[in-house]
Chains A and B, each alone.
Chain A
């Protein structure tokens, strides 16, 4: 009810502005066009039909993001501000849409919509958010329901062991070992495919996997490297070993039928990678847990110096 009331008021206000602009004679018209040229100088111009134009007109971009996913999307409980890799990427999109006005504080132009894994697609399909940036792996199943930008972050499955473990260095070494991972995940299937004789300990979440590893009841924990980063942070006596043995490309989720929006996001991602903004965001959020530096969403990282 309140929402409908809000819309009615907004509509009323818009009509009043329109009436003033149309019926006010010569003088107000002149000042209106002057204002238009003033904003055009600070805001990028988009074609009328594009979704960027409509976001710019509405004045805010609605962003679906997670609030508890370190280091990608987190709502800082003390400051109430959002932070993380995904969030900073979104701030760059915001600047690209709203121009110089957004440079100082892009958050003024962002409306955050909290999501969890299962609500990411519905949030887009129900038009509750313009984009979803939440460690969103691009795959065929999802591409049937929504569009994705190009890959802005690439990760994959790796192996976590105790620092004292020396005989597990690659996925093949998991054969005959007890490996803990979450059930119902692609992680479990990847291990089954690539290390047939691994003994899988399947739990619901990763913290008990870490406990089992600490107690020596599991030889290794294996899942997306980004989740392993969090576990290493919790327990510095563990280490991540081996290369990626699965591919998890993250993309920005967009509802289907947004005119010109995906190519626009892609161009911003490409620009960020080219001018080093991407590398700076990586260094800010990922390097502290991964210990490497990267200049783009590929898998060739090098140790941080």
Chain B
């Protein structure tokens, strides 16, 4: 009854649990999206590279990680690789699980990032690249100074979308035992039977993460427009 009068009060009944969970979700989101951007960029460069084997690797990566469920991927990254004895260079089970989940976030969303960035790269006028090369810039220099800066500017909105999707998808990490926001909701629910409140609080906490992320993307988009 107290919950109906004061929604969100359950947050203050289990403050430590929810705050720790929020911490895990933020860490997963930050490291995961950083990793996704890095992996995605590298794979995109593979896909536009003049060397065929690199292009094949790029295609295989994107098709594999984009076409299989993230849930299956993180289970494989934890227990599948675990069966081969791989523990992500740590002896602590919970650290192993966290690293497996983070890697899953980075790989899965990296595939989407790769496609967005590849789109940006091939969207650049051919004349620019030819001009850069005739000015004496190497292939790498052309990428670094001509193609990539323009690509990142043009792809801020779709990359922002992927980032926000990643924040929400971190909830899948709870299925392999990461004590994130979703798991906190489930634990509190089973202790109190106050389902609506427990999940309501977690919805609010996800919004606390995703709404500022969306605003940040909008701001970045505008700033990039000015720079252009």
Contact = CB atoms under 8 A, between A and B. Distances in A.
Contacts of A217: 82, 87, 93, 96
Contacts of B190: 183-186, 188-189
B177 to A, nearest CB: 5
Contact residues of A: prevailing secondary structure: mixed
Interface residues of B, number: 21
Given A201-B94, A217-B82, 5 more contacts: A184-B187, A186-B190, A199-B93, A215-B79, A217-B87
B175 A204 contact: yes
B75 to A, nearest CB: 7
Contacts, number: 52
Nearest to B177: A201
A208 B75 contact: yes
Nearest to A199: B94
A254 interface: no
B176 interface: yes
B221 interface: no
A215 B82 contact: yes
A212 B175 contact: no
A185 B186 CA distance: 10
Contacts of A183: 174, 183, 186-187, 190
Contacts of A189: 190-191
Contacts of B83: 211, 215
Contacts of A188: 187, 190
Interface string A216-245: 011000000000000000000000000000
Interface in B129-183: 174-177, 179, 183
Contact of B186 (A184, A201, A212, A218): A184
A212 B93 contact: yes
A204 B190 CA distance: 13
Interface string B177-217: 10100010011011101000000000000000000000000
